[in-house]
């Protein structure tokens, strides 16, 4: 009998769980208003620091309440929005800037190469936290300023990968041929180089995504990120730290959220880099 049955393999099904987890967290972020049981910013000073499972007037606080009596579960779900959207935006922006700079430097060579790649070196030499503090001091804290800080600090990483890949792809005969066809610089870069370097760039972007989540949490933890009362995992960790001895749940759940989000992004990145190769 040669029936076509879906083959079940433990390893293959395990390989999917980071993607499933990431998808679940993204869904939580996107559908936060539907999924969150309560208003994340509604305070209840009488129900402060209640343990997970606490019930009051027919409402269950599944993950407990924080120091202002706000529902931790709802804040967690809304906090995922901040973490994921900051990470996605900063990965996109720094990726676009970095890849453009790297491709130009690697393709045009000569004078451009020196100028752009030394600029990359300069940016790499500035400590991220220092740059963050300067930016916040100038622009003030807030969602978009966090994205700007992360873009400013992270684009050189993409530039380096794109630069190296462009150097090697640019030497391949089909690039010369497309020049021989009269293709302009933007066209050669867009049509011939970009598709051939995008794999390693995607690997970096996936790994960077996890890092961006942590950076955002770190900035919010330091008070340089998203400002209260907006729920952010980093800020929740920061306030929860003061109550760790008495109310462990305030800091634990956002920490767990961060852990799972970063872990799933990194596992996907690792798998991508195994499949695509190079790029790290």
User: CB of 116: closest distance to another protein in angstroms?
Assistant: 17
User: CB of 234: closest distance to another protein in angstroms?
Assistant: 39
Residue with tokens 């760790």: 244
Q: Coil, strand, or helix at residue 2?
A: coil
Give yes or no for residue 173 binding another protein (CB under 8 A): yes
From the list 42, 118, 187, 278, which residue makes contact with another protein (rule: CB under 8 A)? Answer: 187
Window of 146-154, 170-178, 257-265, 267-275 that interacts with another protein by CB under 8 A: 170-178
Give yes or no for residue 172 binding another protein (CB under 8 A): yes
Rg, the chain, Cα only: 23
Give yes or no for residue 203 binding another protein (CB under 8 A): no
Which residues make beta-bridge pairs with 55?
60
From the list 44, 60, 85, 178, which residue makes contact with another protein (rule: CB under 8 A)? Answer: 178
Spatial neighbors of 164 by CB under 8 A, at least 6 apart, are 102, 106
What would the x/- binding string for another protein be over residues 108 to 137, using CB under 8 A?
A: -xx---------------------------
C-alpha pair distances (Å), 250 with each of 54, 141, 231, 237, 253: 14, 23, 12, 7, 6
User: CB of 174: closest distance to another protein in angstroms?
Assistant: 5
Nearest residue (CB) to another protein, 25 versus 188? 188
Cβ(106)–Cβ(162) below 8 Å: yes
Sign of CA dihedral 208, 98, 197, 279: negative
Nearest residue (CB) to another protein, 44 versus 178? 178
């Amino acid at each position: 009998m040669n029936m076509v049955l879906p083959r079940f393999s433990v390893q293959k099904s395990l390989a999917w769980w980071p993607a499933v987890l990431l998808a679940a967290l993204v869904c939580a972020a996107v559908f936060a208003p539907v999924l969150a049981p309560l208003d994340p910013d509604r305070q209840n000073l009488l129900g402060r620091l209640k343990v997970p499972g606490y019930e009051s007037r027919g409402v269950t606080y599944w993950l407990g309440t924080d120091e202002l009596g706000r529902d931790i579960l709802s804040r967690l779900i809304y906090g995922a929005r901040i973490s994921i959207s900051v990470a996605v935006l900063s990965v996109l922006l720094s990726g676009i800037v970095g890849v453009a700079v790297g491709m130009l430097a690697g393709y045009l060579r000569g004078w451009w190469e020196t100028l752009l790649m030394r600029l990359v070196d300069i940016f790499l030499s500035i400590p991220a936290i220092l740059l963050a503090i300067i930016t916040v001091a100038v622009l003030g804290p807030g969602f978009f300023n966090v994205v700007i800080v992360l873009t400013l600090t992270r684009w050189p990483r993409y530039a380096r990968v794109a630069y190296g890949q462009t150097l090697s792809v640019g030497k391949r005969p089909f690039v010369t041929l497309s020049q021989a066809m009269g293709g302009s610089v933007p066209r050669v870069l867009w049509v011939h180089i970009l598709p051939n370097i995008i794999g390693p760039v995607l690997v970096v972007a996936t790994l960077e995504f996890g890092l961006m989540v942590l950076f955002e949490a770190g900035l919010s933890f330091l008070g340089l990120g998203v400002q209260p009362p907006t729920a952010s995992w980093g800020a929740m960790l920061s306030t929860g730290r003061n109550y760790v001895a008495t109310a462990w749940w305030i800091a634990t759940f956002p920490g767990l959220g961060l852990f799972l989000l970063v872990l799933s992004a990194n596992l996907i990145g690792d798998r991508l880099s195994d499949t695509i190769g190079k790029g790290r």
